[in-house]
Each structure stands twice: as C-alpha cells, then as structure tokens.
Amino acid sequence: MSTRLGKGGRLLDRSRPLEFTFNGKRMKGYRGDTLASALLANGQTLVGRSFKYHRPRGIVASGAEEPNALVNLGRDGRFEPNQRATTQELFDGLTAESQNHWPSLEFDVGVVNNYASKFLPAGFYYKTFMAPRPAWKHVFEPFIRKSAGLGRAPVDRDADIYEHFHLHVDILVIGGGIAGLTAAKQAAATGASVLVVEQTAHWGGRAPVDAGEIDGVPAADWVKNAVEQLESADNVRMFSRCMGSGVYDHGSVLAYERLTDHAPQDDTPRHRLWRIRTKHVITATGAIERPLSFAGNDLPGVMLAGAVRDYAVNWGVSAGDRTVVVTNNDDAYRTAFALLEMGLEVPAIVDARTTPQSPLIEKARAMGIRVETGRGVAKVKGRARVEGVAITTQAGEGAVLETIPCDVVAMSGGWSPVVHLWSHCGGKLTWDETQAFFRPDRTKAPTGDKGQPFVTVVGSANGMLGTAEVLADAHAGGGAAVASVTGQEPATVPVPQAEAETPAPIEPVWMMPQGASHELRSKMWLDYQNDVKVSDVQLAAREGYESVEHTKRYTTLGMATDQGKLSNINGLAVLAQSLNADIPAVGTTTFRPPYTPISMGSIAGEARGEIFQPLRRTPMDDWHDANGAYWEPVGHWRRPYCYRGVAETAAEAVIREVKNVREGVGLLDASTLGKILVKGPDAGRFLDMMYTNMMSTLKVGRCRYGLMCSENGFLMDDGVVARVGEDEWLCHTTSGGADHIHAHMEEWLQTEWWDWKVYTANLTEQYAQIGVVGPKAREVLELVGGMDVSKETLPFMAWADGQLDGIPVRIYRISFSGELSFEIATKAGYGRALWDKLLEAGRVFGVMPYGTEALHVLRAEKGFIMIGDESDGTVIPQDLGLDWAISKKKEDFIGKRAQERSHFADPERWKLVGLETTDGSVIEDGAYAVAPGENVNGQRNVQGRVTSTYWSPTLNRGIAMGLVAHGPDRMGEVVEFSKVDGGTVAAKIVSPVFYDPEGEKQNV
C-alpha cells in the first residue's frame, strides 16, 4: 500500500489540507500535491485500465511522461477527459474519475480481453479488414468501438475562457531547471530580452531531489537564489506553469500557460497560449527515465525509480513499504538512498550489470543494502498489484533464482534526453553508444532565415546527466546562444560548480532477461497506454515491418496521448534487435508538437461565442435587427434575407416584399456592395484590362455594367462602373467580392503594370447605399426633396450628386430588379438618417424594406445573373449569353486569351436558358437535366443543370435559370429535371428574361 509519510515533502504545505474525490470516494491531500501524489497518499495505487486489454494500471511516473494515470477531471462545463494526474495540481473540491473501466475500476468486464490477448495481436485492427465484410460490420467494429477509447467526450459547453498572448523576445529559454536557469543567467547578463518558461509550478527541475550541492549550497537554495536574481533583472521574465509546446519555423514558438488549472475560477482565462517570436530558443527540457522491459512491468506498483524518489522527497509519499530497485545504471541507487532515509525498506537492488563499480554502488553496499549484480527480473508477482519479484540471471532465459516479496518495483532503464523541442523544427539526433540514448547533434540544429542555428540545447536535454556537466554545458551553451544573437559575449558570469561524479557506465538492457521466452515477452509492456508489448513489435518485424514509422502505426506504439515518451526508445531498440540492425539505423519516429496535449480552448483563444468570427454590420444594421430581419450571412456580413412580420413565415415575407417592389416601392440596404475608386492617367486603360467590356469610353456622369474574368477566362465578378471624373472611376463589386477584387487590381498594378499611373482605394465602407426601387420610387424621392430626379435630368444609367433633405448623396440610376430604381450613396455616418428619412417619406406610398431573397427573385424574374449562382468558377460569360458585354474591339483584357482556347469555344458547352416547369412547380435547387442512357459509371447521363430556381410571386409560378446543352437553340423544348425523391419534373426551355423583356419599366 502506498501512503503519506509522517514527515517530508518539500513541496507540501501541510498546514493547508484539501479534500477531493476519486470515483466518488472522498480523499484528503495537501496544498502542493499533484493529483497523483495525493492518490498515492490515499493508498490509491490502481488508477485506470489499459486501452486494449483493460489491465489494471497504476501511476508509473511523476511528470509529463505519465502514461497511465489519466482521469476524467471535473464536471459539467469543466469536465475534461484524459487529464494527467501527475501534472494536475490538487485543489480543494477536485473531482476525478478513472477511465476505460466498466462497471467499476476494481471489477472490470473488459479485462476478459486480457485473456483473449492471443487474438488481439499487433495490427489486429488492420487484420480485421482482411476478414469477410460482414464480420467487420457485425463482429469487429462493435467490439473495437466498445473496447477502444479512454476518456469520455465532454457534453457541456466549456465554462472557461481562454486567450492568446503575442510576444517578441530576443531569447526564449524553455525549461526552468538548473540548466535553463544557468543559460538564462548568461543571456540576462547581455541585456538581451529573455523569457524563461517552466511547465511545472516549481523552478529547479530534478535538481532539488538529485543534485546535492551547487556552488557550495544545497541545490534547492541555489535554485531559489538564481530565480530571485533573474526575477530582479529588468530584461528577464519568468513564467511557471507555462510549457514550451512547439518550436516552429523562424523562431516561432508556442507556449501553453495553465493559469487556473490549479485553482479553477470564473471570469478569468484558464489557459493562455503564448505565440512567441524569438531570435533564439534555448531548450533545457531535461531527460525522461526509461522503463525496463520485464514480464509484468505494467502491474500497479511498478514505477520509474526517479518517480519513486520524487514522491518520497517532493510530496512525502511512500509508494510502498518494501521497494526492490531494478536498474542498469547508477542513478536508481539514489532511490534506494532516499527511501532508506525515509525509514522505508529496500530489500534489494537488482543491477543487470555484471561488475559495475562506482562510489554510489560502494555507498549502497556500505549502507548494508543487498546489491545483486548480473541479475534481472524474471517476472513480477501479483495480480492487481505488485506482491514480489522473481529474480533471474540477466544473461539467461528467465529461470527463477529467488522470489523477493515487495510492494514496489522501482525500475530504471537509463535516461533519455527530452529532444522533442530540439527536433520539432528539424534538429537532428545522434546515437550516443556510451550512454545508450539519442542526443541532439549540435552541429545540425534547426536553422533560421539566414541558415543560422536558432535552437541551442543545454543540460540533460543535451545528454549531460551529471550535475557538474549540466551546469558547464548550460553555461557554455547559453553563452554561445547569446553571442549569436547579440554579437557580444556575455559579461563574465562564473560557471556554477558541483562535485564531479564518476558513475559506472550504463549497460543497455532492452529486454530482461535478455533471452526471455515468448511467454515472458508477451507480458513485457513497452507502451502502457496503448497496450503494446515486446512480442507485438517482434511480430511486426517478422511480418516485414522494417521502418520504425510503419511499425509505430501497425502496432500503435507511441500513438497514445503520451506520444510514447516512455516507450519510443525501448520500442525501437526492440525493433532494431529483431531486425538485427543498429539502433541508429532504425532511427526514431518524428517528434511533433505539441510536447504534451494542449487544450482546444487555448488554440481557439478569444475566438468563441460572439467573437468566434468577425461579423460585419452595415450602418443600418440596428434598424434591421429591431424590425424583424431574418439574417443571412454574406461573406462576413450579415444581411436581412427578409423582414418577417408578425405571424409571417420567411417565404410569405419574400412574396410580400417582391410584390411590393413590383407594385409600389421597396428599400434595399445595398451598403455591402464593394466600391473601389480607381484613379489616374492610366485608369481607363487599366479598367479596359480588368473588365471584358470597354470602360474607358464611358462618359463622366454615366454608368455601365461590366464583367470581370480571371486570367483563365472564368467569370469572377460583376457590377456597375460609374465614371466619376476625367481620370476617375468608381467600380462596384459584389458584396463578397470587394476585398479580393481590390487585391486582384492591386496585384496586377504592382506586379504586371507597375509603370501604369493608377491608384486604387477601397471605399466600400465609406458609403451606405440604399436602393429605392419600384414604380413609386421617384415619388418618394420627390417628396423627400432636394434633387431633380426626373427622367430628363437623371436618365437611366446616369448618376448625379446632390442633397436629399440636406444629406449629401450621390444617386445612381441603375436597376437590378427591372423596376424604376435609384441607388443612393451617402457617407456611412449619415446612412441611418437617410434610411429613416426614406421610410418616413415612403410611408404614404406603402414603402417596405426588402431583403436579399426578394432581391434574388426580382433579378431572376429579369434574367439577371448572380455571381455564385450562375457562375461557379467554371463558367465563362459566353456560357451565360453575355457576349454583348465582351468587347470585340479591345486588343486585350484579362481572360481574353483563355476564352479563345478551343474548349471555351466548344459549341457543346452548356448555355444559359430560362426554365418553366410544365406543372408550375419550383425545380429543386441544384437539379440536373437528365438525358437518355447511362455513363461508364452507371450514372444517369445529364444535359444541363439548374443555377437559380425560385417561386415567382409576379408570374405566380416556378421559374428557373439553368445551363443546358445547346439550350438557346432548343427554345420551347421540354426537358426533364431530376428530383431528390428519384423522380423528374418536366420543364420547358424559354428565354431567361421572364419579366418585362423590353426593359420598359426600368427606363421611365
């Protein structure tokens, strides 16, 4: 049983007891605990079930590398699955439950998978695909879905808020251990701006537990002094609970700050994602201990040796009374010393090395600890937790020499530098034969814009395991990094000193014992979370998997939420052995950000709720909102689709609005239309290139409708152009097109015609624009007064400046509805006043506002095309019968050459026609005109498609436009259009102009 010790726990505040629950059970802890240390303190060694076999799992590690202790944390709006107990600080009222168990943690039905493990080998998932199809649907899929998955997905809306913080800093130090602090001191000494981030709540990393003395004082005191010194420096900032998450190109780094995970509260951000631009990154990310692969190494009670002493020293927690230490290196001896000092028992240190000699080993022997060399663990005894270990000869096959009763096995397979952040952006690794790990190759660092290295790795992350080495490396690395950024050597900061160590060399042990039988190998876990064993990787190798990347995906090794922090090196070593290859030849899988999972909320930052996306509002938006607007998104704008009256459906409102425009007068908020001013001596020539028709010949005071094509000839945008001065044109674009058409113009001006004298300005938002549309439109304006809007003074397709009731306006006589129509532009700040004025004056004429749907119906009745309906990026103006708007006289325009390609001149291209159903119904959106026979894929042949289809209140029938093969030559012919229910509807091909084909109504 694990328990709280009577004394000790350097991070605990025993005067601050806290309560929490685990699976509904009330437990106690102290401020300073992690959830993991508190669970152990309460005797909770079983914390979850494994992914595939539902085997009982306990806490293995004490930090970010923990694979097993994942919990569902919190409830309701703060529920979150897969939270790591080792990195979750305890707070009062915390609720956690274990994952992947049913019906309970102690008694789990899924554990039968454990006995069926023979049938769940590596690549099981892929192998199921080879079975007959019904087996997948009825057997494998339900089974896999039932047994897979860890935590539950949250149901409620996240109760917390999140934010980003952008920062530019000269030097970023990731990792607040002694290496990071030493490097930061070097950096700080130059005056460069420095940010130091540390993922835990504490500075100093492992040093206070392991390092002894630095500069003649205990490591913890040295750390405290270093932090104080750095904090007092003007050019240094220190943030704990802030993890370096990913290193990206050109010194872009993400850091993940957990602001309130240790003390949840409302109304302040929970996480802050730091988006950092730095000249240089120093990674001081430490090292992670490796497990050893022996049978039963996944039983609760088998822990990393370093974690066992962390729990004792940091949190005053004993993982158990009797701990057997199993190791292939000297470091694990420290665990034995720490435990003995706490008054706990260490029955034996089982050392796989045959004749290791070092001061630490001598010390152990001198303390009377039984040290067994050349030995290993044959298997761990126990069902739900460790009861003892069977000892064997490491060189042998697993014959049991002796069984030692114990309740904890503290294992150490050596340490692996945390190379993740070094590797994210391309830093290369090299295999260190002597120390048996991959370490960064400092000669192959990630490089910046000038090819300069922009990451320096220091300390244990650079493969330095002794305190003295770590300090010297960090001092030198920090200095070099600073010099590369500032061009000056840092002021003389002395190298921190620690006693040199002379450990006995590590002996790589990838399997224990080295000649283990298949039965033993089937119980040696590599990846605890995903249930990948030594036998699985060996099977993959036998089945032909040679690449480590393929083996990873086949076996799922390292694919769990811990991303293989414990399993990767062991797994690839086993693979290398199976393939008879060298470890460096097999290589590692790719290290990708984030280092540990970061919350989705932090990625979204402020972008949620009201500010998920920008919402663009016109100057009349408030009025629409207060008057029944039924909104429709148009780009980022919101526009009224229609204005619903009391007890009126949207469809009814549209019919009312259309009729009111045809018979009386309607108001349209057209402010979203793009308005681009184009000015200069070459502006006319430029617009002749931008538009398919001629704009340079337009007279001042007049308007002309124009089409814009892409260089590939496809119709891109349309709108009315007004010549507003001798060398000045105002181009109206579609609502969604304003920004990209402006960019399109600027691109041509800046890259192709840079010597043309043309300036553009996007004035879209400077003006509110209101359409006054309908036979009574003129009367409304005359009642407002201030301008002569008679046909003689302001004819169709002309514009004039003036004032309406004292408001400066420009009126364009243009029509998108077929009716008498005035589009009135005024400064946005006067838009609402003008709108109110027009409503007031129009009251006697029955004026009503109308929305985008009525706009669409009105234009469809007139056969006017709509960009995005009749065009979809594959349509050229000629398809739409717009040949009249394509100049034959012009030598060139954008798209001209493309339109001369044979495919574009092909008479088989579908062409625009009007469509009238024979029964008067509305053709379904997107319907195809069917043709006899089937194509090679067994699909019905088609001969056209609908582009716009509406109920016409004016004609009292369904009308549509569509592209049909040889359409214009087939007037009067009836074709069938598909329906969603599988049937068809007959429609007659007619002219697309359904209403007022002579255009008499708009020209009055």
Partner 1 sequence: MYDPVGALQPGTYAGFAEVQVLPPQGMIVVRGDLSDGALQSAVTAAVPLAMPGQTGASFENGRGIFWMSPDELLLMCPYAEVAGHVDSIGKALAGTHHLVADISDARAVFAVDGVDAREVLGKLTPADLAPSVFGPGSFRRTRLAQVPAAVLCETDNRFVLVCFRSVAGYVHELLKTAAIPGSEVGYWRD
Residues that bind partner 1 (CB under 8 A): 161, 163-169, 193, 234, 237, 267-269, 272, 275, 277, 605-607, 610-611, 613-619, 636-637, 677, 679-681, 757, 759-761, 763-767, 805-807, 827-830, 832-833
Instruction: Work out how close the CB of 704 gets to partner 1 at its nearest, in angstroms, rounded to a whole number.
Output: 21
Instruction: Work out how close the CB of 59 gets to partner 1 at its nearest, in angstroms, rounded to a whole number.
Output: 34
CB of 628 or CB of 680, closer to partner 1: 680
Instruction: Work out how close the CB of 238 gets to partner 1 at its nearest, in angstroms, rounded to a whole number.
Output: 11
Quick check: 986 and 919 in contact, CB under 8 A? yes
Quick check: 715 and 707 in contact, CB under 8 A? yes
Instruction: Work out how close the CB of 876 gets to partner 1 at its nearest, in angstroms, rounded to a whole number.
Output: 32
CB of 426 or CB of 829, closer to partner 1: 829
In degrees, rounded to 5, the angle at the alpha carbon of residue 274 between the alpha carbons of residues 167 and 427 is 90
In degrees, rounded to 5, the angle at the alpha carbon of residue 478 between the alpha carbons of residues 472 and 481 is 140
CB of 403 or CB of 766, closer to partner 1: 766
CB of 633 or CB of 681, closer to partner 1: 681
Nearest to 678 by CA among 800, 761, 766, 798: 761
CB of 277 or CB of 940, closer to partner 1: 277
| H/E segment holding residue 854 | helix 852-861
CB of 405 or CB of 681, closer to partner 1: 681
| H/E segment holding residue 731 | strand 728-733
CB of 276 or CB of 304, closer to partner 1: 276
Backbone angles phi, psi at 31, to 5 degrees: -60, 135
| CB neighbour class for 235 (10 Å; exposed up to 12, middle 13-18, buried from 19) | middle
Instruction: Work out how close the CB of 769 gets to partner 1 at its nearest, in angstroms, rounded to a whole number.
Output: 12
Spatial distance between the Cα atoms of 38 and 979, rounded to a whole number of angstroms: 64
Spatial distance between the Cα atoms of 34 and 419, rounded to a whole number of angstroms: 25
Instruction: Work out how close the CB of 421 gets to partner 1 at its nearest, in angstroms, rounded to a whole number.
Output: 21
CB of 202 or CB of 837, closer to partner 1: 837
Nearest to 773 by CA among 708, 859, 902: 859
Instruction: Work out how close the CB of 809 gets to partner 1 at its nearest, in angstroms, rounded to a whole number.
Output: 12
Strand partners, 813: none
Q: Where are the strands (E) in 292-436, listed by range?
A: 302-304, 317-318, 322-327, 345-351, 371-373, 375-381, 388-393, 402-405, 408-412, 415-417, 429-432
DSSP, res 515 = T
CB of 28 or CB of 832, closer to partner 1: 832
Quick check: 60 and 289 in contact, CB under 8 A? no
CB of 785 or CB of 926, closer to partner 1: 785
Instruction: Work out how close the CB of 672 gets to partner 1 at its nearest, in angstroms, rounded to a whole number.
Output: 8
Quick check: 575 and 587 in contact, CB under 8 A? no
Spatial distance between the Cα atoms of 328 and 367, rounded to a whole number of angstroms: 20
Q: Which two three-digit tokens encode residue 25?
A: 């059970």
Spatial distance between the Cα atoms of 169 and 188, rounded to a whole number of angstroms: 12
Cβ-proximal residues to 923 (8 Å cutoff; 6+ apart), any chain = 915, 917, 946, 949, 958, 960, 962, 977, 985, 987
Q: Which two three-digit tokens encode residue 523?
A: 């119980």
Instruction: Work out how close the CB of 806 gets to partner 1 at its nearest, in angstroms, rounded to a whole number.
Output: 4
Instruction: Work out how close the CB of 794 gets to partner 1 at its nearest, in angstroms, rounded to a whole number.
Output: 23
Instruction: Work out how close the CB of 605 gets to partner 1 at its nearest, in angstroms, rounded to a whole number.
Output: 8
Cβ-proximal residues to 258 (8 Å cutoff; 6+ apart), any chain = 241, 242, 243, 270, 271
Nearest to 484 by CA among 199, 188, 280, 721: 280
Q: Which two three-digit tokens encode residue 257?
A: 């700050």
CB of 245 or CB of 764, closer to partner 1: 764
| H/E segment holding residue 400 | none
Instruction: Work out how close the CB of 168 gets to partner 1 at its nearest, in angstroms, rounded to a whole number.
Output: 4
CB of 832 or CB of 945, closer to partner 1: 832
